[in-house]
Structure 1
Amino acid sequence: MLDFQFAGLPLHVLLVHVMIVGVPLLAVLLVVLCAWPAARRVLWLPVLLGALLLLGVMYLTIEAGEWLQARVPEAPLIEAHTDQGEDIIWWAIGLATIAASVGALAIVENRERRGRTDPEVAANRGMTVSAPRRRPGRVAVVALLLVAALGVGAGAVWTIVQIGESGTRAVWEGSFSDQPLSD
């Protein structure tokens, strides 16, 4: 078993912050990529790599949490947090799947764009080019991906908030004073 410590601190405590920032950021980026084709063309690969990295961080966070749980006294609040901790797995897999689907869409769109001729270039060459037409199937795929990104993103963010709230209660509830201890 690995020693999940960094600079004397439990690694779980540090990795949690990556998840707290990473999950909402990924959810927002996926919605942006679904709704904005120009962003999709440029950012699909970094977002996909970020989603895959977040899956790895999620796995490490859960493992580090289990390591930490074995080293703290049993308490109902810690048990509640541990029970909720793995709820993020399916949401994170869903976000990564949507990121891969958006990436596939971007690849198809980029290949199509390379095949088109710019109207100005075509006119200079004496060619006529019809305006690109929207494909109903493509519009449906984009709409479906947008709805999926909104739904899975909202579920993932809500789940990470719930997990974080239960972890915060486990650590801080009853361990501080309402009033300053010194004047």
Structure 2
Amino acid sequence: MSLINGLPAHVLLVHAVVVLVPLTALAIVICAIWPVAARRFGIVLPILALVTLASVPLTTEAGEWLERHVDSDPLVRKHADLGDGLLPWALGLFVLAALVWWAARKSAADTSGGSRWSGTPMRVAAAVLSLVVAAGAVVDVYRIGDSGAKAAWHDGYSKTATSASDDD
């Protein structure tokens, strides 16, 4: 995918990643910590994580197309290098979402209350792992977005207003 309505697809698709990664990360942490939330989210949690996962390579591929169509710049290269590192985080979010969903489903189906997945050690491990992966994913999205904004805007605007009418 290269262009959408004449605009580089990357500048549009990136908004999905910027919204979906933190949203998915937050949902996974909530569901890992609070099993009732995991049961209420149900299949929506892994579906959200799958959509998030799918949006990352689409956005990266569109970014690679855009990189080939702009002047070579160290800021653009840094942004592209950072962007290549998001896929493992998105994959981690998906795997955790699937595991949290499966564990919640399994514990809800176990009427005897003896499910090994609903035990405190497993829930603590899932919560800690979810916090680590969620934090890593969100920090990575921030770093990528910051580098992309610097690459796009470093010489693209004037620090002073160009005319008095611009202040209105």
Contact kept in structure 2, 1:28 and 1:153, CA below 8 Å: yes
Are 1:176 and 2:157 counterparts? yes
What is the aligned partner in structure 1 of residue 3 from structure 2? 5
- Show structure 1 runs of 4+ deviating over 6 A: 133-137
What is the aligned partner in structure 1 of residue 16 from structure 2? 18
Q: Residue type of the partner of 1:144?
A: A
- CA 1:13/1:93 → structure 2, altered by over 3 Å: closer, same or farther? same
Greater Cα radius of gyration, structure 1 or 2: 1
What is the aligned partner in structure 2 of residue 162 from structure 1? 143
Residue 134 of structure 1: how far off its partner (Å): 8.5
Contact kept in structure 2, 1:4 and 1:12, CA below 8 Å: yes
Structure 1 length normalisation: TM-score?
A: 0.84
Measured on the aligned residues, the alpha-carbon RMSD in Å equals 1.7
Are 1:153 and 2:134 counterparts? yes
What is the aligned partner in structure 2 of residue 96 from structure 1? 94
Contact kept in structure 2, 1:33 and 1:44, CA below 8 Å: no
**What is the aligned residue count?**
164
Contact kept in structure 1, 2:107 and 2:117, CA below 8 Å: no
Residue 174 of structure 1: how far off its partner (Å): 2.0
Contact kept in structure 1, 2:117 and 2:123, CA below 8 Å: no
Residue 100 of structure 1: how far off its partner (Å): 0.8
Residue 106 of structure 1: how far off its partner (Å): 1.3
What is the aligned partner in structure 1 of residue 72 from structure 2? 74
Residue 8 of structure 1: how far off its partner (Å): 0.9
Q: Residue type of the partner of 2:25?
A: A
- CA 1:162/1:41 → structure 2, altered by over 3 Å: closer, same or farther? same
Contact kept in structure 2, 1:44 and 1:102, CA below 8 Å: no
Q: 5+ unaligned residues in a row in structure 1: which ranges?
A: 117-131
Distance 2:66 2:42 in 1: 35
Q: Residue type of the partner of 1:149?
A: S
Contact kept in structure 1, 2:106 and 2:115, CA below 8 Å: no
What is the aligned partner in structure 2 of residue 60 from structure 1? 58
Identity of aligned residues (%): 37
Residue 177 of structure 1: how far off its partner (Å): 1.1
Secondary structure in structure 1 of the residue aligned to 2:43:
helix
What is the aligned partner in structure 2 of residue 46 from structure 1? 44
